[in-house]
Structure 1
Amino acid sequence: MNENERIDDKQENFSKSGLSPFKSAMYRTLWIAALFSYVGAAMYDVGASWLMTSLSSNPLFVSLITTATALPIFLFALPSGILSDIFDRRSILLVTCAYMFIISTLLGILTLIGLTTPTVLLIFTFALGAGLTMIKTPIIPTLSGLVPRSELPAALTLSALGGNIARVIGPTVGGLIVAAIAPWAVFFINSAAFIGMIIIVNRLPRKSDISQNQNSLPPENIVRAIRVQIRYIRHSQAARVLIVRAGLFTLCSSAVLSLLPFLARHELGLDSTGFGLLLGSFGMGAIAGGIAILPRLRPKASVESLITGSVVLLSIVTFAIGYIQDLLILCIVMAFGGAGYITILSTFYTIGIKSAPKWIGARVLAIYLLVLNGGLAIGSVIWGTVANVFGIQITLSVASLALAATIIAKKRYSSTLLNDLDFTPVSDHWSLPPQSSIDPSQYENQALITIEYNKIDPSLSDEFEHNVHELGRLLKSEGMAYWELFQDPTDTGHYIEIRIADTWTDHMRQHEYVTKNVQVMEDRIRALIKNCPTPTISHYIGKSPLK
């Protein structure tokens, strides 16, 4: 084998390992910078929790650290997604990282000079949690925009792995630093991690694929952007698949990690080192699964097969850990659980990215993060309550059955429903209406679009109405404020389709964002009624009352 063949084999093996996105220097450096920030955040959690035990003997204050960390996700995930879709993600990351550096540094100074109180610590923990939430939403689409679309699944898997690696490394390193120095040292290290993020993000291009599509229209109004997000959730099949499947999974799988500390200490009699080995095994299994196993399975198995197989594997793991007493065997089982967990997590990430137009992508990821964290929080309470009444073994057995039962959801919420969807924008599909007669002062008025269908063959009416209603659902999921189909009761072959956009500017934006999904459905309708008169399209603009 000559030198060139050896190089080709190395490159092929590198791609198959799931590390192919690292071929991009920009992706590689940004991923590493993000990893350090995640590790810093995990170290902070340890430092803050330990500091609180020395500031207050009240267990409530100690538990409130977890609340102050998790609450910002519920409050700021959706707004973060909206801001990431409307404004430049590079700028958002720069501002947020600078904010995190200032807050963490200030807390380190206050702690070093002895001015930190329980209330102060909770306020700063909440503030840092808010900042971290504002980073997580834009960083994923930013990283995804740095690689070719063919490498998107691998890039999303690596993004999910970053959080798992941080959960393995952060608490261990943070605990050692707190023991060797003090909690304030962890706070300063956390702030230093964001310096690296600022340097790397500042090197990103100002206008490229990593950011939103650039156009001549003004940014979306934030209030209307919230409405668009709600419409997408209400009318998108893809959103329902993602929310239901991810929600059920995280709700049931949360039993493993939430009950593991109690299982390790009270059922197995392990110390902190043994507990760390179990968590580390789970994390190492996730890393091995994401880098070595999942990339080889993707070309051979469908998305639904990956989800189903991983759910079955994790169900078996959930059941088994309640009855295995040997630490070595338990570590091996936890590693398999980590591999199954990362497979499902990264698969849902991929569904989230591919299940929405690019201009609303960050908002969809924000919904996914909210569902994951919400399911984890609610599931932990449920399984903890059940375990308090029935014990760990019975609870884990019930959780494993519940997790396996989530496979039933694929009958109605199958990921295969997304196979026919194509969110590629086709900005030239709709011809732009003339704007010469529209006063710019009226651009914020509502836009009404009517499409009049005449002499529809009665034999085609059922299929026609079905297709047009499906088109309406797509339009509403892609931001149309109002849509309805009306039929003339005196002439059943006469229909009028009504579309209303919040503003004329929003309608112009819809011309730029319209996807192939809409194009395919409109082409299908035109082909169906090709022997009928050509539909008449009219545009109207809302008129405000004279002042």
Structure 2
Amino acid sequence: MWTVAALSHFGTWMHNTAATAQLANFSAVPAVNALLPAAATLPVFLLALPAGVLADRIGRGTVLFWANAASALTAALFAALDLAGALGPGALLALTFGLNASWAAAYPAWNAEVSSTLPAELIKDGAALNSLSFNIARTLGPAAGGWLFGAVGALPVYAVNALSFAGFVLCFRRSRRIERLDDGPAGRRGAWQETTALVRESVPYRALLTRAWLFFLLTQVMFALTPVYLLTVRRLPEGVVGLVLAAFGFGAICSAVAYPVVRHVVTDRVLRASCASAAALGLAVLPLAGNVGLLLVVATVFGAAFACTITMNNAFLQLSVALRLRSRAVALYTVVLYGAQTLGALAAGALASQWGVGPAAWVAAALLVVSAFAERPAGPGTRDRSGAQR
């Protein structure tokens, strides 16, 4: 399944690069191009949580089969319309929404499925491997997609993405029959009641959502401001900017490789504080970096800290939440993650417009340092009302 996921991630990142370039060719209006990330993130808010509830009730394999089949068909429709010369800005945005809607439906089920195939002692290492496949694709996929788009256009990129979902479809083809897995309260109302009870009664899960919201809100300042800072303030060429952005992905790969070793050396709490501190250091140094080499180091360290935090969060979800509730727990976490990143990007833009990139980054860095050491250690053996170990 790791290979299947890696190929699918690679096709997705190739596709994203081609779609972004093609929309820019259709229209140079910034407001039009800004609709593409909106079309990609809106389905997460609308569908991730209902999809998580559905996966827990009818079976993760069922949801994964149909969601990936829908993704393959949508990507194939991209290619068909482009071949026919009928893929304009409106169709591209609509299909982007559809493609990300199927991704939003599959993501909670996939993350829960990973943990169900591994023994408990290997779940953290499995989360690191899952992160590794994603970040390798995030590093190499845009380069491959950009090269192929520049050489022969968007059509082959969309076709490759459609084929990249074939592995998932074949892997879960035997799960097409609906099998009720949720042994909780019957009916949709009972499923939603269990979801709200998970947030209300599980102190560790609620703490995870709070930490995740703050961390992703503040770290999004780096992702939102780095390109515009390097291009407009530092006036670096696009190739150098692309290299710096690739360093984020390289750092994430390093994190995924190192995490299985590091987690045996330090506690999760210490590692979380270290990651937040490293991310804060990256934010603080970014406006002061005087050469490209230092920028690459900053981006690599920041990317490693960011990816390590995501890996720890995913491992926590898979270890601390009951299997029959796990898809919806991942879904709610995903909504929090995307919501924090969206708000963080808007806040970063507003602060940078008023104060400049440097002060905006330094404020975010200071808040990250505070958050790194604000977590209270849980007493040994303490349990919350949901029965989860704290």
User: What interval of TM-score do these two structures reach, taking the shorter chain for normalisation?
Assistant: over 0.9
Alpha-carbon distance in 2 for matches of 1:57, 1:324: 31
Shift of the alpha carbon at 1:202?
3.4
Determine the structure 2 residue equivalent to 1:276.
242
AA partner of residue 23 (structure 2): M
Summarize deviations over 1:28-86 as a string: whole Å, max 9, x none. Answer: xx122112212222222222222222333433221101100011111111011101111
RMSD: 2.4
Determine the structure 2 residue equivalent to 1:380.
345
Does structure 1 residue 397 correspond to structure 2 residue 362?
yes
Shift of the alpha carbon at 1:125?
0.6
Alpha-carbon distance in 1 for matches of 2:244, 2:58: 42
Determine the structure 2 residue equivalent to 1:150.
121
Any unmatched runs of 5+ in structure 2? none
Does structure 1 residue 63 correspond to structure 2 residue 34?
yes
Q: As a proportion of its length, which structure holds more strand?
A: 1
Determine the structure 1 residue equivalent to 2:67.
96
Shift of the alpha carbon at 1:188?
1.1
Alpha-carbon distance in 2 for matches of 1:161, 1:101: 23
Alpha-carbon distance in 2 for matches of 1:73, 1:136: 10
Q: Are 2:66 and 2:176, in contact at CA under 8 Å, matched by a contact in 1?
A: no
Alpha-carbon distance in 1 for matches of 2:192, 2:135: 31
Alpha-carbon distance in 2 for matches of 1:165, 1:204: 28
- Pairs aligned (count): 389
Summarize deviations over 1:216-275 as a string: whole Å, max 9, x none. Answer: x69942232122111221222122111111111101111111111112212332222212
Determine the structure 2 residue equivalent to 1:434.
none
CA gap 1:279/1:419 in 2 versus in 1, 3 angstroms: farther
Alpha-carbon distance in 1 for matches of 2:35, 2:191: 33
Does structure 1 residue 87 correspond to structure 2 residue 27?
no
* Secondary structure in structure 2 of the residue aligned to 1:375: helix
CA gap 1:419/1:273 in 2 versus in 1, 3 angstroms: farther
* Secondary structure in structure 2 of the residue aligned to 1:301: coil
Any unmatched runs of 5+ in structure 1? 1-29, 422-469, 475-516, 521-547
Does structure 1 residue 357 correspond to structure 2 residue 322?
yes
Determine the structure 2 residue equivalent to 1:491.
none
Determine the structure 2 residue equivalent to 1:407.
372
Determine the structure 2 residue equivalent to 1:327.
292
Q: Are 1:353 and 1:364, in contact at CA under 8 Å, matched by a contact in 2?
A: no
Alpha-carbon distance in 1 for matches of 2:52, 2:355: 40
CA gap 1:57/1:318 in 2 versus in 1, 3 angstroms: closer
Larger radius of gyration between Structure 1 and Structure 2? 1
Shift of the alpha carbon at 1:378?
0.5
Alpha-carbon distance in 1 for matches of 2:56, 2:118: 19
Q: How does 1:234-249 map to 2 (within 5 A)?
A: 234-249=200-215
* Secondary structure in structure 2 of the residue aligned to 1:53: helix
AA partner of residue 213 (structure 2): G
Does structure 1 residue 252 correspond to structure 2 residue 204?
no
Determine the structure 2 residue equivalent to 1:288.
254
Alpha-carbon distance in 2 for matches of 1:419, 1:357: 18
Does structure 1 residue 231 correspond to structure 2 residue 197?
yes
AA partner of residue 11 (structure 2): G
Higher relative contact order (CA 8 A, sep 6+): 2
Alpha-carbon distance in 2 for matches of 1:122, 1:206: 32
Determine the structure 2 residue equivalent to 1:336.
301
Using the size of structure 1 for normalisation, the TM-score is: 0.67
AA partner of residue 341 (structure 2): L
Alpha-carbon distance in 1 for matches of 2:184, 2:228: 53
Q: Are 1:268 and 1:325, in contact at CA under 8 Å, matched by a contact in 2?
A: no
Residue identity (%):
25
* Secondary structure in structure 1 of the residue aligned to 2:367: helix
Q: Are 2:57 and 2:181, in contact at CA under 8 Å, matched by a contact in 1?
A: no
Q: As a proportion of its length, which structure holds more helix?
A: 2
